[in-house]
Chains A and B, each alone.
Chain A
Amino acid sequence: MPENVSSLIAVRDVKVHFPLDSVGSLGRLLGRPPARVVKAIDGVTLDIQPGKTLGLVGESGCGKSTLGRAILQLVRPTAGRIFFKGTELTGLNARQLQQMRRRMQMVFQDPYASLNPRMTVGDIIAEPIEIFEPLRGEALRRRVQELMRTVSLNPAFVKRYPHEFSGGQRQRIGIARALAVGPEFIVADEPIAALDVSIQAQILNLLSQLRRELGLTTLFISHDLRAVRHISDRVAVMYLGKLVEVADSHEIYRRPLHPYTQALISAVPVPDPAVEKTRRRIVLTGDVPSPINPPTGCRFHTRCPYAQERCRAEEPPLVDTGGGHQAACFLLEEVSSGGAARDSAA
């Protein structure tokens, strides 16, 4: 059992590694490891409290989507354990896992690719219900229409096909499908990234409203720090397969501790020319290194303006700095006195 029993989701030292080379049957027999491995997730421990939204941010390739999928067991972790209300998901067989699926669902990024173009909206939303419940005929139809109303879609459109809807409406269909079997937990993977600005606010508000009304626990994965701040109770920042900082939402934006979080927040353009003119932006040099051969020590040291010898050799652990604000950096004191972007942003 995980030590923190109040969590709805508990992730304990989870790793997801993808082998790049085949080791061959002889190699497998000898237990030989593949030469190259993508370490998409490399030791993540995380809790999500019931009814809360955790925002997971990071740049492309940092492993945030893989972590979301690993929690739902859509990819099986290479190591570590994942608990849902105390039940260890990583220990379940396929049939047991399928029964758990109705309690945890997913909303996908691309509302164009994640809906079957040959199915009507009604059939798309009804499919998960038919799998898990005996509901059929008129009762099923009523349930589908009720779900459509929940996400503010006109139930008269039940016979229409996905291509007849706009991007925002399709995302509503995806949300209705995820809600159809009454899950307690939802992973929303970049749910607004493909939408127009005026539609993003609509979907963010819908997600907030559903969380309030249904008491949903949510993992909200996004690279959009503005949206994450708005919707999340707590925020976790990922870099190259590791968490570098976890804190309450208002805390992490007001007082980011990790140099990577500081750079991320300072890089977000603010829709206010007065702010943009005066603030000092931390521009990181270089690109995110490859997760195939991640840097030794702290993975961020190749781009970190504060990096020292120790950062290249040792890996900093994620430690609680007080009040549930966790950060993984050896140099927290230097970084916070280093006059980071947070003051210039005000």
Chain B
Amino acid sequence: MGTPLLSVRNLQTSFFTREGEVRSVDDVSFDLEAGQTLGIVGESGSGKSVTSLSIMRLIPTPPGRIKGGQVLFGGQDLLKLSDRQMRAIRGKRIAMIFQDPMSSLNPFLRIARQLTEISELHLGLDRRAARRRAIEMLELVGIPDAARRIDDYPHQFSGGMRQRVMIAMALSCDPQLLIADEPTTALDVTIQAQILELIKDLRERLGTAVILITHDLGVVAGMADRVAVMYAGKIVESAPTDSLFARPAHPYTQGLLRSMPDPLQEVAELYQIPGLPPDMTRLPPGCAFAPRCPHAAEPCSQPPETVAVGAAHRSACWLNVRSETRA
């Protein structure tokens, strides 16, 4: 394998609040090859969205700050670029779609203007060419009657159609990387299926690499090549998708998988992860999951090392360290 398209190295992003420093992203590293899909899974506050916003350099400063690390994109460290250089990458080579398509579209502008703005800016197209391109993109994402609908306002579209518009906008400049942050969470299940199929199809046709951020392990199972599981600002486990689901190594991943009702199977009682999501201002000194972990023991008061538990499969848990040394 050559150089990865994206290589995040020891990324640290903190928010400075009245209650103290919140280490939303704490020493996160991962690679993404061109054309591949990485699923980042975690609950609210785990740092999955802050990771993607850090890659895009969209962290509101203050209160937030990227404290350290590198975001190497095509060999270039995005964190070292000037704002102007970054603007040339954002929307052109890296694009992003968000959970709520209504609040990410400008309600006062016709879809046409919102779509042409990007290609005029980044591709240098004139108005007419930009409009042609915009209609093409709307057709690509399956908006019926695109040539007419392009002059509608966002409120005239349904939720699923708005998400298609967002995807059209994100893909207008042929980005190498698409970051999709909970793209289907606000949508109904049959519409979710449509949008996921669309992302899959476009990814194959355009060869775009995708970072898919979600809380739904079911969604990554069908979409991702690799999965990273985040908890309290850290990646606790990362693996090829098959390996993660077949042999989850970290107790948090195991708990998440066991606590999901399986639509194909009946169980009397669901496994439940005890306790509450961590208070990010008061994390325990060692493993942040230890207070909820059924296997917690003395070593867990120290931060666990990340060790290999299989081919390209890493987990940050003392259990894995012990079993590895025993083996």
Contacts and interface: CB of A to CB of B under 8 A. Distances in A.
Interface string B224-266: 0000000000000000011001000000000111011111101
Which of B190, B191, B241, B257 neighbours the largest number of chain A CB atoms within 10 Å of its CB? B190
A269 B219 contact: yes
A340 to B, nearest CB: 15
Contact of B222 (A226, A276, A285): A276
Given A197-B215, A229-B261, A267 B267 contact: no
B198 to A, nearest CB: 9
A198 B277 contact: yes
Nearest to B194: A283
A272 B160 contact: no
Interface residues of A, number: 46
Interface string A41-52: 000000000000
B189 interface: yes
For the side of the interface on B, what is the size category?
A: 35 or more
Contacts of B269: 205, 208
A292 interface: no
A226 B272 contact: no
B3 interface: no
Contacts of A208: 269
Contacts of A268: 189, 218, 263
B266 A229 contact: yes
A210 interface: no
Given A225-B189, A281-B193, A166 B277 contact: yes
A205 B273 CA distance: 11
Contacts of B193: 266-267, 281, 283-284
A264 B190 contact: yes
A267 B257 CA distance: 19
A267 B276 contact: no
A223 B193 CA distance: 14
Given A205-B272, A281-B197, A287-B160, A273 B245 contact: yes
A199 interface: yes
A223 to B, nearest CB: 6
A75 interface: no
Interface in B179-238: 188-194, 196-197, 215-219, 221-222
Interface in A113-144: none
A268 B262 CA distance: 10
When A and B form their complex, which 6 residue pairs have the shortest distance between CB atoms, in order from nearest? A269-B218, A276-B222, A267-B193, A230-B261, A201-B259, A59-B188
Given A229-B266, A267-B193, A271-B262, 4 more contacts: A59-B191, A201-B270, A271-B260, A287-B158
Interface of A: 59-60, 166, 168-169, 196-202, 204-205, 208, 223, 225-227, 229-230, 250, 253, 263-277, 281, 283-285, 287-288, 345-346
